[in-house]
Amino acid sequence: MSHLILVRHGQSEWNLQKRFTGWVDVDLTDKGKLEACKAGELIKDLKIEISFYYSSYQKRALETLKLILNTIRVKDDNIIKAWQLNERHYGELTGLNKNEMKNKFGEEKIFKLRRSWDFPPEPLNKNSPYHPLNIETYNDIPRDRIPDAESLKDTYDRVVKFYSENIKNNLNKNVLVAAHGNSIRALCKYLFDLDNKIISKLEIPTGNPLLITLDNNTVKEAKYLDSSRAKDLLKF
């Protein structure tokens, strides 16, 4: 048996402001940092050795992972960063307030843009300061791999490809991944074999580790370590 632990980053500044964040590189709030430290305590209580640590390129996930590792007294110099674990790119919605958009376009359309399987927003203008082409964090990503907008399916394709080619091979040991709401939803869709309609209902809480127990890469059990903030996994 081995374990895969998935952690959505702690609350970010734009989570607090209810803005579509996507690939914009924003910091954690003080609450988000506390959530990350709490996640570390919960993982520490498992008393298991974690051999591999993955994060997206985005600092809210990277800082969450570093705070977790500090809490469990593990050096953070072996973190593997992968842009493929980044949040979904929200296209022209990036930076906009979610509540304002609901009032303007209606809750049904915004839900479709946020949660549908293969319906991307309109692309973000490449001249926008929020476009990843103009964000220093992503300077070493090939420009032709940087999206203007993504559906959940687009996010799924890059996340699962990276998981299958990199993380999966290390699951004879315990692995920790710090990522984002949609990149973790994509992994859950793959690992739990959720269909395209059900995945729209899956909520991923911030800073609450999801412990997945595997046997020969087959999921045997999945549970959130903080049961008071757990969300329905729809299958387990």
Active-site residues: which are they? 9, 87
pLDDT of 96-122, one tens digit each?
Answer: 998 888 777 777 777 777 778 998 999
Q: Are strands 2-8 and 210-215 parallel, antiparallel or unpaired?
A: antiparallel
pLDDT for 236 equals: 54
The set of residues, in sequence order, having a beta carbon less than 8 Å from that of 149 and lying 6+ positions away, is 89, 90, 91, 92, 120, 121, 122, 123, 124
Annotated domain spans of the chain? 2-40+47-89+168-229
pLDDT over 60 at 142, yes or no: yes
Q: What angle do CA 69, 11, 183 make, to 5 degrees?
A: 75
In CATH terms, the superfamily for domain 2-40+47-89+168-229 is: Phosphoglycerate mutase-like (3.40.50.1240)
Model-level pTM?
Answer: 0.94
pLDDT for 109 equals: 75
